[in-house]
Structure 1
Amino acid sequence: MVGTELHRLGVLARRVSSVFDRSSLALTGRREHFDPGHPWLLSGEERGNSDTRIRQWTDGNDVTPLIHGKVYFAALADALHRAGPNDLVLFTDWRGDPDQQLVDGVTVAGAFAAAARRGAIVKGMMWRSHIETLGYPGRRNRKLAKILEAAGGEVILDQRVPVFGSHHQKFVVVRYADPDTPDVAFVGGIDLARARRDDADHFGDPMSRPFPPEYGETPAWHDAQLQIHGPAVRDVEDVFRERWEDPAALSRLPWHALPDILRGVTRSPSELPPPAAPPAPCGTCSVQLLRTYPRRRPAYPFARDGERSAAQAYAKVLHRARSLVYVEDQYLWSVDVARVFAEALRREPGLRLVAVVPKFLDEDSPITIPSALLGHSSALETIRDAGGDRVLVLDLENDRGIPVYVHSKVCIVDDTWAAVGSDNFNRRSWTHDSELTAAVLDTARDTRAPVDPAGLGDGARRFARDLRLELAREHLGRKDGDDSDLVDLDEFFDVVRTSVDALDRWHKAPSAGTRPAGRLRRHHIDVPPQWQQVAASLVYRLIVDPDGRPIRMRLRRTY
């Protein structure tokens, strides 16, 4: 195609110009905004948090993407089944449903409780949550905590957050006493909750939950988690330890404290056992843990001025992006975040963006929906204005034409750097709630052409490319191995656009022929009417997408 050839000429021109840019930097002594010591991973200075004990990054990890809750839950059930005397099991969650099945016949509560009864040390931190009558998961989180404590575990309900804030981290760590059993950490966006146990067919989890009617009785759910073996497991454990050892009261609200005391809920966490040495290297992936913590009073001891390394990392890698950014996200609805993508698109005329988001919101509140739609439409307008036809914003449906709720939080840049975690692309996740994301940079190069799609010498990496292709095959209705026309990033963009256009045309005239393969549709939303936008803007900034940065950073629009 002519467009593709012009795009490739643009890539070649950028390769030449990048050489002159680097020469200019060397001659003038100017430095880029980010430390060039590592092109993709944050330095300690860039992280901006000297209070933490976690390392800058670790090498030698084995990382496996677990796409879909059914795959993740099966791996988690196996890891917990192997936990026994003197093993350490740690978990955090935003929402936990005790009765959710990990595999047939094994519930979340049953799997963790069984590990505790076998002698494993089970510790958990659940978000305490806001008012339950507004749909928050406080009652279910409390029920899970009580079940596990009755089995010998210990679970705290953690409300050490700002007003309207939450603990949004979702991870599990299992450290085994047996040196022949490899320790494991699971990091990503999947809660231990109802509706998450879906698979690639996307017919939904039979154990559903209340959801907008557009998604049907058993809403289809697309999500992602990582399974990590190697030294990074210890860093994930240290994220848990830092929060657990925070001396601040679990909640300072008297209407929380009294009910907790009456219900026998743990108010003062016990001491954790001393940490074991980090696991030995066992793979080819460098893993950097990225987090968000707001600026809180009293301050977090491990982040006295907060931490915004997730935002910093995305800004750094987007500054380096040249060819394609692939995103899956639940809440791409903040203009502050959209500006980072828009800046990259304006700077690099050959850069393309594919973003997969939910077709409809996950709630039907008349208060929050207009504000969320306003933020979402403003963010998309910012990105589309910058990238034009180089931007594809898409949503997902299953083969029956029913929308699939996209809950995954994935970002892949130039088939080199990839991240999966709990943070969404909104201001709340980048500044206000606690979040944990794992950025992965595989040292193993991918030998399929193009071997260096960005033209900067970084090369395509096996983990990032394989992850993109796995997601692409599913969304395009392909079988495993059917991806030869998807490896090249330019061709991938064209194939996706062609597939989307074909499916959209069929939906306009379904009687004209057989439904085309694929599940991706162009994303359209209805903007709130003008009379709603003033009030919606206020609700959006204060409640839906609050800002947890210090005032000086807000004024400077920095992280």
Structure 2
Amino acid sequence: MIVQRIRLVVDGIAERFGRSTSALIAPAREFDPGHPWFLTATERGNDDTRIAPWTEGNRVENLVHGKTYFAALARALEEAERGDLVFFADWRGDPEQLLTDDGVSVEDALTAVAHRGGVVKGMVWRSHMETLGYTGPKNRKLALRLEEAGGEIILDQRVLTLGSHHQKFVVVRYRRPEASDVAFVGGIDLARARRDDGNHFGDPVSRPFPPEYGEIPAWHDVQVQLEGPSVRDVEDVFRERWEDPSALSRLPWHAIPDFVRGVTREPSELPPVSDRPEPVGTCSVQLLRTYPRRRPAYPFATNGERSAARAYAKALDRASELIYIEDQYLWSVDVARVFAAALRRKPNLKLVVVVPKHLDDDSPITIPSALLGHSAALEVIRAAGGDRVLVLDIENDRGIPVYVHAKVCIIDDVWTAVGSDNFNRRSWTHDSELTAAIIDETRDTREPLDPAGLGDGARVHARSLRLELAREHLGRADGDDADLVDPQQFFDVISASTTALDNWHRNPSSGPRPAGRLRLHEISVPPVWQQRLAALAYRLFVDPDGRPIGMRLRRRF
């Protein structure tokens, strides 16, 4: 009943605003013939930031899995010498997490740069109380260890009540002209359990997790490596937050222990900023962010910023053939109605969603609340798209669920977004987030050349990432993807593989296990009495809203 009422409200909103997805969420758009997929500076809705609307001439490498990303990060840090800059921001940082097979840890790699004379600065979310399952002590330990080596980490609690800093990025800038500056952006924390690979048997440096994921939880995630002018924008994201003059925390139970332990309370001054790196590749990159409206205001976003939400709306307004997403959470009706509007607008549009099979905690408060939001969101999307929607989860070859932590969206093999924001209201309005939207100027030469028929053409970066992820989930070798290039055929192949594996699980004695790892995503909706109890907790704690009240009432971002 609750889900049906939500669906009626959403249908009414969509009918009121008409067919355009962006009318549900974004302000009136400027016409931009150069990059119709990207937000203009005005559409970003934040005149306070120093980052560029977008940059061209970037090299972008997809780093699928934590093991791939950590190896690339370790190489970049190993090259950093005296005077080079290493800036990073994180939700969680575990000093003991290994980056490489030979035992180099997060702490080892960062402190080694500081010992060599590099400038190492980090911002890690201070975190809520450990008794609530958060990792404040680990973040504090990493800060103290780096301080001892000559670096600096601030524990940043400049967030809304019950909010977090969720950005996950690293910037390395070298003084040597022959070394290529680099930035890493995505969903992977410098934390335990993240260093998994394509086999998905888990990271030996594990963490407590729900028992459904086994003793060593398998973890699926994605990061991108940026080189070129966009590196400066990622650096500016760091500098804007670092230079915020507000107190890192105003809570006395934070301040007193900090003084006792010697934790930094006032950030030092950063070195002067360098010029933008020269163009090195074929990709245009637009950085998208979320910041809530906070008091005292963020000086770089005095009314907040919701460019991540606005960018999805603008891109979805052009979607015609296929939306492919991987996400840790998909549990907000506010987000679901944006996808639903796109599905109603384009009768041929298909949607493939890959999410975790189970939540990442076992809290009696969080589970009913999250399932309430998740089931309502899926109902809205399925009502709009019907059999054009596939919602899936992953298991490894041993039949154990894989936790999907990635935050990826690929539309019509043109526009790609990889970052820290999930498809929920918290990520679109309340917590700090950073995502890279990418359009490769190089067109893919495989048919169909222009899947959407808008003249955009399929782009190498977007199509390559979609096919790489699909091969992994279908259990295929590199290059075995000829039947996956066409987006419509891709949907059918994914559907057939999922059906085959689901049927085998219902009757495993029927023959050998089919190739592939995708399962149809099914959840148990909480009983009505739990829904009523969970609704308030969902709105206040699980998926809060960081928009100004006027935007909430107008249902705008």
Q: Is 1:471 aligned with 2:469?
A: yes
Equivalent in the alignment of 2:419: 421
Q: Is 1:56 aligned with 2:53?
A: yes
Equivalent in the alignment of 1:222: 220
Deviations 1:251-283 (A, max 9, x none): 011111111111100000000000110100000
**Distance in 2 between the 1:391 and 1:368 partners?**
27
Deviations 1:90-134 (A, max 9, x none): 000000100000002100001000000000000000000111111
Equivalent in the alignment of 1:71: 68
Equivalent in the alignment of 1:390: 388
Q: Is 1:94 aligned with 2:91?
A: yes
The aligned runs of 1:183-194 (5 Å cut-off) are 183-194=181-192
The aligned runs of 1:124-143 (5 Å cut-off) are 124-143=122-141
Equivalent in the alignment of 1:40: 37
The aligned runs of 1:265-284 (5 Å cut-off) are 265-284=263-282
Equivalent in the alignment of 1:212: 210
**Distance in 1 between the 2:537 and 2:431 partners?**
17
Matched residue SS, 2:60: strand
CA contact (8 A) 2:27 2:43 kept: no
CA contact (8 A) 2:58 2:279 kept: yes
Tell me the percent identity: 74
**Residue identity matched to 2:31:** P
Equivalent in the alignment of 2:455: 457
**Residue identity matched to 2:471:** R
Matched residue SS, 2:141: helix
Matched residue SS, 1:378: helix
The aligned runs of 1:154-193 (5 Å cut-off) are 154-193=152-191
Deviations 1:17-71 (A, max 9, x none): xxxx99xxxxxxxx99433313100001100000000000000000000000000
Deviations 1:289-348 (A, max 9, x none): 000000000000000000000000000000110000000000101000000000000111
**Distance in 1 between the 2:247 and 2:532 partners?**
37
Deviations 1:168-224 (A, max 9, x none): 000000000111000000000000000000000000000100000000010000000
**Residue identity matched to 1:317:** A
**Residue identity matched to 1:300:** Y
The aligned runs of 1:439-458 (5 Å cut-off) are 439-458=437-456
Equivalent in the alignment of 2:77: 80
Matched residue SS, 1:379: helix
The aligned runs of 1:529-540 (5 Å cut-off) are 529-540=527-538
The aligned runs of 1:241-256 (5 Å cut-off) are 241-256=239-254
Equivalent in the alignment of 1:507: 505
**Residue identity matched to 1:460:** A
Equivalent in the alignment of 2:431: 433
CA contact (8 A) 2:350 2:389 kept: yes
**Distance in 2 between the 1:523 and 1:383 partners?**
14
Of residues 547, 554, 557, the one that matches 1:556 is: 554
Equivalent in the alignment of 1:13: none
**Residue identity matched to 1:44:** A
The aligned runs of 1:271-420 (5 Å cut-off) are 271-420=269-418
CA contact (8 A) 2:185 2:419 kept: yes
**Distance in 2 between the 1:318 and 1:558 partners?**
16
**Residue identity matched to 2:495:** R
Matched residue SS, 1:103: coil
**Distance in 2 between the 1:193 and 1:363 partners?**
17
**Distance in 2 between the 1:324 and 1:461 partners?**
14
Tell me: CA distance 1:185–1:408, structure 2 relative to 1, closer, same or farther (3 Å). Answer: same
TM-score, L = length of structure 1: 0.94
Matched residue SS, 2:99: strand
Residue 377 of structure 1 and its aligned partner are, at CA, apart by 0.3
Matched residue SS, 1:526: coil
Matched residue SS, 1:387: helix
**Distance in 2 between the 1:39 and 1:225 partners?**
25
Q: How many pairs does the alignment contain?
A: 531
The aligned runs of 1:508-527 (5 Å cut-off) are 508-527=506-525
Residue 149 of structure 1 and its aligned partner are, at CA, apart by 0.5
Matched residue SS, 2:439: strand
**Distance in 2 between the 1:192 and 1:129 partners?**
15
**Distance in 2 between the 1:309 and 1:275 partners?**
24
Residue 534 of structure 1 and its aligned partner are, at CA, apart by 1.2
Of residues 251, 259, 262, the one that matches 1:261 is: 259
CA contact (8 A) 2:91 2:189 kept: yes
Equivalent in the alignment of 1:15: none
Matched residue SS, 1:326: strand
Runs of 4+ in 1 over 3 A off after TM superposition: none
**Distance in 1 between the 2:160 and 2:279 partners?**
38
Residue 414 of structure 1 and its aligned partner are, at CA, apart by 0.2
Deviations 1:507-555 (A, max 9, x none): 0000110000000000000111101111101000000000000001000
5+ residue gaps, structure 1, are: 1-20, 23-30
Matched residue SS, 2:328: coil
**Distance in 1 between the 2:381 and 2:188 partners?**
27
**Distance in 2 between the 1:81 and 1:349 partners?**
51
Equivalent in the alignment of 1:9: none
Matched residue SS, 2:267: coil
Residue 137 of structure 1 and its aligned partner are, at CA, apart by 1.1
Deviations 1:450-478 (A, max 9, x none): 00000111110000000000000000011
CA contact (8 A) 2:78 2:113 kept: yes
**Distance in 2 between the 1:46 and 1:496 partners?**
35
Equivalent in the alignment of 1:199: 197
**Distance in 2 between the 1:330 and 1:35 partners?**
32
Matched residue SS, 1:106: coil
**Residue identity matched to 1:502:** A
Matched residue SS, 1:250: coil
The aligned runs of 1:118-129 (5 Å cut-off) are 118-129=116-127
Residue 167 of structure 1 and its aligned partner are, at CA, apart by 0.1
**Distance in 1 between the 2:30 and 2:484 partners?**
33
**Distance in 1 between the 2:289 and 2:234 partners?**
11
Deviations 1:389-415 (A, max 9, x none): 000000000001000000000000000
**Distance in 1 between the 2:153 and 2:171 partners?**
14
